[in-house]
């Protein structure tokens, strides 16, 4: 009975963490779309820097209140994380500018195979046949939904390649750092958010000018645009925190697979709030295929042998520190 109660509690917390991520991620997409499309605030990299500045403020307040305990993250590890994270943000923005929307979506879909490769190589994860097939079904469904025109050019391909690998490495590193240094999501954000905020706010205005030929200091702010800007930064705190929570509780691959549910929700909400243009049988079929794949993935990866380690990469002293046996640690990482 106690083990059943513990499993039920973990399932409830996992569901709450995932719902938190879905709500904040979908919310920030809708708010940012209004901010950029309606009010013309097209400075995406600078906006991301403001998001991390707001997140930094949150971590400072929580540390002052005692909710975040002192923790250690080596400077070399922090630099590697910031390198991957910032290349991810810049790479995605440049990829969207240099590629067609169709190829941009295809590039995003390749993050799951890349994340799988990282887990196989570094964490010695083994996937069952059903888990692999369910991932392919998810990719197929999302591709049917989102991929339309596809055109490729050399510099666009290079930007997409950098964006995909840096994003996959950044998400893998979130899980890796939390495990290796026993960091909570708040602890890790407390280390990384200030560095990301500072670097992106320094780099952002120049990169945004290169991408849009517009200067942020010439943008005419008015009350509605400021309201949406503040709302975007506020929601971003939840988005950043929930991403770290979800990747810490699951893995980067599970986060990517389930993350496509947000793609489906954004499409549905877009049709509801911005009109039904683009809604056709192809999109509906793609949504259904993707959802079937996600349900199958959740079921397949949770079964014995669906997704497991061939050997343990966690240091023994770290496991003993938390009083976890190898079996309980492995069970906690299953999705």
Closest-CA residue to 297 (of 72, 78, 157, 129): 129
pLDDT band at 325 (very low <50, low <70, confident <90, very high): very low
pLDDT of residue 309 exceeding 60? yes
For residue 262, give both structure tokens: 């947000």
pLDDT at 236: 94
| Partners of residue 53 on adjacent β-strands | none
Instruction: Encode 226-267 in three state secondary structure.
Output: HHHHHHHHHHHHHHHHHHHHHHHHCCHHHHHHHHHHHHHHHH
pLDDT band (50, 70, 90) for residue 275: low
- Segment (H or E) for 309: strand 307-309
Quick one: pLDDT at residue 324? 46
Q: What is the mean pLDDT of the chain?
A: 83
Give every CB contact of residue 123 below 8 A, 6+ residues apart in sequence.
309, 313
Concatenate the DSSP letters of all residues of 140-177 into one string.
HHHHHHH-------HHHHHHHHHHHHHHHHHHHHHHHH
Instruction: Return the percent helix, strand and coil in the chain, to nearest 5.
Output: 80, 0, 20
Higher pLDDT, 169 or 7: 169
Residue 260 scores a pLDDT above 60: yes
Percentage of the chain modeled with pLDDT above 70? 87
Per-residue pLDDT tens digits for 130-178: 888 988 998 888 888 777 666 778 888 899 899 999 999 999 999 999 9
230's CB contacts (< 8 A; 6+ apart) are none
CA distance linking residue 134 with residue 157, whole number of Å: 27
What's residue 321's pLDDT?
Answer: 43
Q: What is the pLDDT of residues 71-114, one digit of tens each?
A: 999 999 999 999 999 999 999 888 877 877 677 777 888 888 88
């Amino acid at each position: 009975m106690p083990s059943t109660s513990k499993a039920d509690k973990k399932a409830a917390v996992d569901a709450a963490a995932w719902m938190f991520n879905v709500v904040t991620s979908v919310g920030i997409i809708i708010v940012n779309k209004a901010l950029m499309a309606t009010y013309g605030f097209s400075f995406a990299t600078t906006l991301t820097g403001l998001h991390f500045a707001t997140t930094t403020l949150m971590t400072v307040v929580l540390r002052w209140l005692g909710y975040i305990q002192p923790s250690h993250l080596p400077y070399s590890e922090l630099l590697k994380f910031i390198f991957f994270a910032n290349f991810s943000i810049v790479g995605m923005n440049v990829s969207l500018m240099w590629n067609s929307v169709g190829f941009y979506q295809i590039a995003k879909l390749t993050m799951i195979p890349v994340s799988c490769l990282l887990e196989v190589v570094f964490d010695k994860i083994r996937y069952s046949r059903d888990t692999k097939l369910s991932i392919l079904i998810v990719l197929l469904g999302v591709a049917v939904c989102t991929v339309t025109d596809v055109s490729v050019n050399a510099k666009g391909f290079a930007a997409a390649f950098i964006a995909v690998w840096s994003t996959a490495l950044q998400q893998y590193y979130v899980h890796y750092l939390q495990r290796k240094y026993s960091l909570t999501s708040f602890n890790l954000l407390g280390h990384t958010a200030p560095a990301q905020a500072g670097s992106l706010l320094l780099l952002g205005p120049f990169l945004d000018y290169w991408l849009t030929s517009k200067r942020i200091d010439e943008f005419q702010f008015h009350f509605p645009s400021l309201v949406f800007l503040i709302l975007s930064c506020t929601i971003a705190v939840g988005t950043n925190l929930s991403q770290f929570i979800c990747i810490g509780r699951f893995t980067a691959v599970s986060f990517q697979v389930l993350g496509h549910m947000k793609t489906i929700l954004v499409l549905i909400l877009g049709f509801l709030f911005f009109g039904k243009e683009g809604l056709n049988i192809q999109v509906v079929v793609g949504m259904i295929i993707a959802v079937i794949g996600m349900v199958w993935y959740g079921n397949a990866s949770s079964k014995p042998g669906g997704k497991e380690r061939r050997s343990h990469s966690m240091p023994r002293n770290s496991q003993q520190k938390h009083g976890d046996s190898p079996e309980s640690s492995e069970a906690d990482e299953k999705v």
